[in-house]
Amino acid sequence: MPGQSMPTMMPLVLDTRKARGVSIAFDLAVQGGPRLAVVIDGGTVTVTRDAPPRAYDCRITAAPTAFLLVSFRRTPVWKAIARGRIRAGGRRPWRALQLSKLIASP
């Protein structure tokens, strides 16, 4: 389940070189799991379960399989969006695309 592994795994897969100088906050809701706050600031990432109230740049809602396939670059994000399996909203929904660029591919 993403809510249990992401707080541990995200700091390990963040591309710190690409994340340097980036400040962005995501409200991530993977269906069937808890809401997560993913905050990237200055080359580090913090993932918190049960996203606390704050001004998020973007809210990402995703089906678990689509999120996993896009995260591991097995499916293009545009395909998951077209099928309605991943949606972005909030103040700056276009910043959702930035998240995948900041994560190193296994």
Residue pLDDT tens, the chain, 106 long? 455 677 788 888 888 899 999 999 999 999 988 889 999 998 999 998 887 888 999 999 999 999 889 888 899 999 999 999 999 999 999 999 888 888 876 6
| pTM metric for this prediction | 0.84
> Letter for the amino acid at 71?
S
Nearest C-alpha neighbor of 22 from the set 105, 97, 86, 106: 97
Beta-bridge partner residues of 27: 37, 59
Dihedral, CA of residue 81, residue 87, residue 9 and residue 20, to nearest 10: 90
On whether the CB atoms of residues 62 and 86 are closer than 8 A, the answer is yes
On whether the CB atoms of residues 86 and 70 are closer than 8 A, the answer is yes
